Structure 1
Amino acid sequence: MAASEEESWRTYASDYIGLVLLLIGYLLIQFFVEPFHRMFSLNDLRISFPHATVERVPLTHDFLYALFLPLALVTAINLATRAPPHKHHVTLLPLVIALVLTSFLTDTIKNTVGRPRPDLLARCAPRKGTPERTLLTIDACTQTDHHTLHDGWRSFPSGHSSFSFAGLGFLSLFLAGQLQIFKHAPHGSVVGHTEKVVRGDLLRALVCGAPLLGATMIAISRCQDYRHDVWDVTVGGLLGWTVAYWSYRRYWPRLSSGRCEEPYEGPVGGGAGEGGYGRVRDEEEGGGAGEIM
């Protein structure tokens, strides 16, 4: 099912253009956009937690776990299995797209919602004598560090959670496809869509689930550091997982496919039919009732 090695990466030009635009949009948000500042009060216990100067999973570690580790593992697996260039390409490209798109969506929502973090008061350092039972604005704060102060209104959703579930979630999907833990093997008459379900053993299933456990622990650490509450990390995790699955399925068959370990041939112009990527029919995938992802 792999495309010819002579396939030009130019057939994916629109994907790369979109990726660059997303990256530019993300950088513009980072450098030029400040969050909406919701009003707050000093007697709100939900935003009265201490500010952790040392995080359990700092941003650099989140990049290590959710970006560099998945990149290294999927590349190593493809090298070990002597995958053709096309398979390398459509493994790395959707992984990067998932991470960049997730970051763009997360920061767009963060800045629009402007929800205070659980440690907002510690970041704000309100002026002495500020009334407790009054709604306050950011003008009541004495914090001079720009990032520390304004980042206090970027609680929803959790960026660590969405980023980790995008990268590690994609890794989990890739492993599930390569190890074929949900594969439906055609059996008997193809016309009648009769098939035999072949389930992977528990060990392989645990290997595929390990990245999701890692992403979950990263999300939990954000609550432990009082950077987010449970709703922030839950929505962030769901956002990252959804984007990871969406990005994976643009290039790979569903996990129950009889060819789940091989990517689609390519986009329109690369040997595919009209209307989308080179997807095979359900009966060729080993599809039918009871699809899994």
Structure 2
Amino acid sequence: MAPPGRTSRGPQGGIFASLVRFYQSSYASDYLGFAVLTTTFLYIQFFVEPFHRLFFVNDLNISYPHAVVERVPVSMNFVYSLLVPLSLILLFNTAFGSHVHKHHVSILGIAIALVLASTVTDIIKNMVGRPRPDLLARCRPALGTPPNTLVSIGVCTETDHHRLHDGWRSFPSGHSSFAFAGLGYTSLFLAGQLKIFVLHNSGSSPSLTGDRDKTIVHVRGDLGKILICLMPLLGAAMIAISRCQDYRHDVYDVCTGALLGWTIAYWSYRRYWPHFSSLHCDEPYPGPSLPSRNDDSSSGRLRDEEEGFREV
């Protein structure tokens, strides 16, 4: 027999039960995951060295000069891909009088996209250990190192630890994945807010006689709105291209990084927002503790087929 105040399924009160209820009825799991990802990212940055592939000292593919001054340094990539998108999202929400929950998930979504993209990118970078196009300029091989012979990092004379070891972190491009995670999320956010993929009615409904001239024509958002949504992606592409101009990466690196960042941005966005064809795509899913908009179930999400276009 269970003691008074308890059931056979476990405690219903106390600190532990309160924590469980809080965890289940809030975004606590998201914040916990964000903290774990951030800690993992920082650990990789400061304590993990990449795998060092063997290389040829006469390999022209890794013989490009080392650009001391980058077109988009790490600090400016944070500005372009984090601060600018975050400011645009907050300004947009504020201008249209958005509620607190919408502000919350907008910030949480882009934050998770950026830290997840950065963590995954760095894990892959260190495991692959692909030499950058400017590796030889970083390595400064010792005189007398034989050509046409695979050699290791042991032939390098560079003493700057970061400059040397970062030469084996070419694939995929971190700038590209970070840019497409932040600016890509912004593009998706604008597409949802401006409803560029939602079908709109044009004309009246068909008459009872089946008059074809009165058939509804479905049209999508105007080109101006579409171009607004594409501008963040253009900025992300320019950041990615700059990495080839600085000889930090090749096209393969930046394309893979861009695809990775965009995929994570879309995944993070759809965790909080309905499908783009939904009439309610400009409003986030209700929070864990809030009732669903269309039903009384505990889940705040709708199936994609329920989010689809409905004629009104």
Length-normalised TM-score, structure 1? 0.89
SS in 2 for 1:247: helix
- Residue ranges of structure 2 left out of the alignment (5+ in a row): 1-21, 207-214
Structure 1 counterpart of 2:3: none
Q: Aligned pairs, how many?
A: 276
SS in 2 for 1:11: coil
Instruction: Report deviation, 1:284.
Output: 4.3
Q: Does 2:238 match 1:217?
A: yes
SS in 1 for 2:27: helix
From 30, 45, 67, the equivalent of 2:60 is 45
Structure 1 counterpart of 2:30: 15
Q: Which moved more, 1:277-286 or 1:24-33?
A: 277-286
From 236, 250, 253, the equivalent of 2:257 is 236
Q: Does 2:174 match 1:153?
A: no
Structure 2 counterpart of 1:271: 291
Contact 2:52/2:130 (<8 A) preserved: yes
Q: Does 2:281 match 1:260?
A: yes
From 66, 69, 82, the equivalent of 2:97 is 82
Contact 2:132/2:248 (<8 A) preserved: yes
Amino acid aligned to 2:273: W
Amino acid aligned to 1:247: S
Q: Does 2:29 match 1:33?
A: no
SS in 1 for 2:123: helix
* Residues 274 and 226 of structure 1: CA distance in aligned 2, closer, same or farther (over 3 Å): farther
Instruction: Report deviation, 1:276.
Output: 8.9
* Residues 47 and 34 of structure 1: CA distance in aligned 2, closer, same or farther (over 3 Å): same
SS in 2 for 1:173: helix
Contact 2:275/2:304 (<8 A) preserved: no
Structure 2 counterpart of 1:206: 227
Length-normalised TM-score, structure 2? 0.83
Distance in 2 (alpha carbons) for counterparts of 1:180 and 1:54: 41
Distance in 1 (alpha carbons) for counterparts of 2:91 and 2:58: 53
- Residue ranges of structure 1 left out of the alignment (5+ in a row): 1-7, 289-293
Structure 1 counterpart of 2:307: 285
Amino acid aligned to 2:291: G
Structure 1 counterpart of 2:151: 136
Amino acid aligned to 1:202: L
Q: Which moved more, 1:132-141 or 1:179-188?
A: 179-188
Structure 2 counterpart of 1:108: 123
Instruction: Report deviation, 1:277.
Output: 5.4
* Residues 277 and 118 of structure 1: CA distance in aligned 2, closer, same or farther (over 3 Å): farther
Contact 1:182/1:198 (<8 A) preserved: no
Larger Rg: 2
CA deviation profile, 1:111-162 (whole Å, cap 9, x unmatched): 0000000000000000011101111100000000000000000000000000
Distance in 1 (alpha carbons) for counterparts of 2:252 and 2:308: 39
Structure 2 counterpart of 1:247: 268
Contact 1:184/1:196 (<8 A) preserved: no
Instruction: Report deviation, 1:183.
Output: 0.8
From 183, 191, 194, the equivalent of 1:176 is 191
Distance in 1 (alpha carbons) for counterparts of 2:54 and 2:109: 39
Amino acid aligned to 1:265: P
Instruction: Report deviation, 1:257.
Output: 1.1
Instruction: Report deviation, 1:200.
Output: 1.1
CA deviation profile, 1:232-281 (whole Å, cap 9, x unmatched): 000000000000000000000111111111111123x4435899951224
* Residues 262 and 195 of structure 1: CA distance in aligned 2, closer, same or farther (over 3 Å): farther
